[in-house]
Structure 1
Amino acid sequence: MSAPATPGNDEAGVQYGSVDEYLSTWAAEDLSRQGVAALINGVLDAACLLSARIAAGSLEGDLAHLVGSNTDGDAQKAIDIASHELFVEILARAGAARVLSEEADAPVMLNGQHFAVAIDPIDGSGNVGLGTPVGTIFSIMPFCEAEDPFLTPGKRQAAAGYVSFGNTVDLGFSVGEGVLLATMHPQTGEFLIVKRQVQIPRDTSELAYNASNHRHLHPAMSLYLQDCLTGKEGTRGRDFNMRWLGSAVGELHRILIRGGVFFYAGDKRPGFENGRLRLVYEANPIAFLMEQAGGRATDGTTAILDKIPTSHHCRTPLVFGSATEVDVIASYLNSNPTSE
């Protein structure tokens, strides 16, 4: 009996070579780029190992088991700590000078000389064990001893990217020459490029936000949502749809592919004045990728890449995605500046 055909096997699948080949060619043009290429490859090596552990789920232990909390009070799961240790170990070998991780209070001092990495090892860890996306997101900054690289504006980033662990393991990254998307081959672990020069549609009718927070929003943001929810009968003149994955990396990947807008605004609750997302290792890499792909990323009114971090783990409101809709949100906030 012959073997059954692979479902959906498309011999014309799109591939544009491997990420390793791309980085090798890019780095060969300028020797100063080799440090960036080595760090991106280090992230991918760690992501390959991490993807296997995530795919094993509870077969190898409870990844969602609570093991403590960080200094900001966020619960830490077993997968948070394990992924932090994995990335620090591999980035040390790849030549990082410093690593700032969401799971550590202070930057980890390493022996590299030229670049520092800010990373959220597992974004959306609340999704672990539920079959919904989790991800890794990272930023690579130039390093010198004279200043703290993690307290400089995001526009200084040398590169940024993410890995989304979903039904496929997907990579999006940029070295400042546009955004590339790649998918990890499930047999070889190699990341193969599937799209170059990603461009986000300027217009969208798709929103990503946590609707349970609607009642806490300031008036300008609440008015924006109300106008969207009234659809084609309202002032926006068209219907809107909603997505919410509980993972900023998952939302980022979807928006790079099909457009949309995501926001986590500051609101009226104590401790949420600046939203919940971290500027240095979440908002900054997202903003870098957005700008490279023709999108926008702001704190509602100010470009994320222009913001100067006040601390390693400081938070910021975040709006990102299709440029026109990000600008629309800014117009609502600017019309009522005391509300945000």
Structure 2
Amino acid sequence: MKRLIPVLKQDGVSIDLIMLIRTVLAASKEISFRVSQGALAGVLGSTLDENIQGEVQKKLDVLANQLIKDMLLADDSVRAIASEEEDHVVGGNPQGQYIVAFDPLDGSSNIDINGQIGTIFTIYKARDDVPHDSDLQFSQKGADQLCAGYVLYGASTLLVMSTGGPTRCFTLDQTHGGYLLTQQTMRVPEKRNEFAANMANYRYWNDANRQFFADVTHQDEKYDKSSMRWNAAMVGDVHRVLSRGGVFIYPGDKRAGVENGKIRLLYEANPLAMLVENAGGLALSNGQSILQIAPTSLHQRVPIAMGSKLNVELYTAATT
């Protein structure tokens, strides 16, 4: 099995970007260890604070955010960072080449039950036309990403990443502490009758979405033998889609503040859309390519459907 750096060099990734990816992954290894220790490390439970999204923070959320933040800001190649847990961009080295955005711990509601959680990250080229610590550094389309990936903390720790080419899967080898290539190229099947959606929100969706899911759950012939799978962690649900197909759907709904759903464009939708599309899948928001959306704010949310091409097209045709 090949180690991470030789694979990246083979893919033509620059040394500077490789070193930055190493920094991100160094933080992920520390998070992986803390996750594996659970209650023994004193990281379970919630804090008394809320993040910018209005969500109660878990202790491990705070720890993971600080670990990644500290490591990235100590890297001279980083001009700025943006975290789902932070109100605004945090400036780094004004001469740095890159900017990094991340969701330090996606699926944090699963922490205390030992469920699936993960770190999502994305890297862009820094902008020279705005201040280094401006939110506008991240006013870039998903199509401009240089690298996107996630680390899934589970029975094994997996890294799924693309630097513009194939979406590859690596596994953390605990014996020597490095990520080894375990899947050369991930490919999303064109269709699979599995879907992931939070059906508890059904009553808040518009009529088109409710009708689509009514047809799916009542086995309309177009959706023959559909099955629902839901991890309450986007990173886990999308990993399943990448591994065996299906579709992950998070619509907007009628509640104030959730008109565009809960998925953040910068921290979740863009990086995962890049991984899905580079694996042969499709990622849309109300019929528009997620990777072509021009951001309007740092914590912008978008409704999404991503996964197997035919499944996404079927959902989009029924709801837009």
1:185 aligns with 2:173: yes
The structural deviation recorded for 1:144 is 2.0
Cα separation, 2, equivalents of 1:250 and 1:122: 12
1:313 aligns with 2:296: no
Question: Residue 158 of structure 2 contacts residue 169 of structure 2 at CA under 8 Å; is this kept in 1?
Answer: yes
- 1:103 corresponds to: 85
- 1:266 corresponds to: 252
Q: List per-residue Cα deviations over 1:309-340 (Å, max 9, x = no partner).
A: 11101111111110111011110123xxxxxx
Cα separation, 1, equivalents of 2:302 and 2:45: 26
The structural deviation recorded for 1:186 is 2.2
Letter in 2 for 1:205: N
Alignment of 1:1-340 (within 5 A): 15=1, 17-26=2-11, 29=12, 33-94=14-75, 95-111=77-93, 113-147=96-130, 148-231=136-219, 234-236=220-222, 238-334=224-320
Cα separation, 2, equivalents of 1:246 and 1:235: 28
The structural deviation recorded for 1:149 is 3.1
Cα separation, 1, equivalents of 2:277 and 2:199: 26
Cα separation, 2, equivalents of 1:138 and 1:253: 14
The structural deviation recorded for 1:25 is 3.8
Question: Residue 283 of structure 2 contacts residue 304 of structure 2 at CA under 8 Å; is this kept in 1?
Answer: yes
Cα separation, 2, equivalents of 1:141 and 1:64: 33
Cα separation, 1, equivalents of 2:101 and 2:287: 24
Cα separation, 2, equivalents of 1:227 and 1:237: 7
Letter in 2 for 1:264: Y
Report the RMSD for the aligned CA atoms in angstroms: 1.4
Question: Residue 137 of structure 1 contacts residue 161 of structure 1 at CA under 8 Å; is this kept in 2?
Answer: yes
What SS does structure 2 have at the residue aligned with 1:325?
Answer: helix
Q: What is the number of residues matched between the two proteins?
A: 313
Cα separation, 1, equivalents of 2:7 and 2:245: 25
Question: Residue 46 of structure 2 contacts residue 56 of structure 2 at CA under 8 Å; is this kept in 1?
Answer: no
Question: Residue 300 of structure 1 contacts residue 329 of structure 1 at CA under 8 Å; is this kept in 2?
Answer: no
Unaligned regions of 5+ residues in structure 1, if any? 1-14, 335-340
Cα separation, 1, equivalents of 2:41 and 2:26: 20
The structural deviation recorded for 1:237 is 5.4
- Greater than 4 Å deviation, 4+ residue runs: none
Unaligned regions of 5+ residues in structure 2, if any? 131-135
Cα separation, 2, equivalents of 1:171 and 1:72: 26
Question: Residue 215 of structure 2 contacts residue 223 of structure 2 at CA under 8 Å; is this kept in 1?
Answer: no
The structural deviation recorded for 1:280 is 0.6
Cα separation, 2, equivalents of 1:67 and 1:109: 27
Question: Residue 296 of structure 1 contacts residue 322 of structure 1 at CA under 8 Å; is this kept in 2?
Answer: yes
The structural deviation recorded for 1:142 is 0.8
Q: TM-score, normalised by structure 1?
A: 0.89
Identical amino acids, percent of aligned pairs: 34
What SS does structure 2 have at the residue aligned with 1:316?
Answer: coil
Cα separation, 1, equivalents of 2:250 and 2:200: 12
Letter in 2 for 1:142: K
Question: Residue 301 of structure 1 contacts residue 333 of structure 1 at CA under 8 Å; is this kept in 2?
Answer: no
Q: TM-score, normalised by structure 2?
A: 0.94
Letter in 2 for 1:236: K
Question: Residue 216 of structure 1 contacts residue 267 of structure 1 at CA under 8 Å; is this kept in 2?
Answer: yes
The structural deviation recorded for 1:122 is 0.5
Q: In structure 2, do the counterparts of structure 1 residues 46 and 237 end up closer, same or farther at CA, with 3 Å as the change threshold?
A: closer
The structural deviation recorded for 1:190 is 1.1
Question: Residue 203 of structure 1 contacts residue 323 of structure 1 at CA under 8 Å; is this kept in 2?
Answer: yes
Cα separation, 2, equivalents of 1:270 and 1:300: 19
Q: Which entry has the higher C-alpha Rg, 1 or 2?
A: 1
Cα separation, 2, equivalents of 1:56 and 1:180: 27
